[in-house]
Amino acid sequence: MRARHAAGRVDAASAAAVDALLRAAPGGDGQYLERILVKERDRTVVVPVDDVDWFEAEDNYVRLHTGTGARLVRETIRALDAALDPRRFARVHRSAIVRLAQVRALEPLFHGDLAVVLRDGTRLTLGRTYRAEFEARLRGRAGSGGS
């Protein structure tokens, strides 16, 4: 029992060290998240943030949507929003963050709301709280950071 507990501590410490290393951009200052570690059964998959089309909150988890499918990570959307580069990602709703390069169009909805349409056809509601910041980032003017 003690051995399992000690092994768990080593695994957690190793995972934290690997995570810290993977957060740093090659040649960069490591200010923004570059890769996400996704634990799957018997392995950990490394997902570059540039492979993610959008992020979706699910309680204390975030679902990463990529061109090849979706994966779930134990992270809050708020923490992820603070860790992502605001020049490449923007919050569009309290439960969604998009990679700006994936935005194809903005379409009107009812009552002055907008839908963000991604290249794969995904439609997300642009929350009024996030509209001004999102539009500024979409134009290439990163704001003050996470919401």
Domains in the chain with CATH codes? 2-138 (2.40.50.1020)
Extended beta strands in the chain, E state: 35-40, 43-48, 52-58, 61-66, 69-73, 89-93, 96-99, 103-108, 114-118, 123-126
pTM for this prediction: 0.76
State the Cα–Cα distance between residues 7 and 76, nearest whole angstrom: 26
Q: What is the pLDDT of residues 14-73, one digit of tens each?
A: 555 445 544 444 434 569 999 999 998 899 999 999 999 999 999 999 999 999 999 999
pLDDT in tens, 78-129: 999 999 999 999 999 999 999 999 999 999 988 778 999 999 999 999 999 9
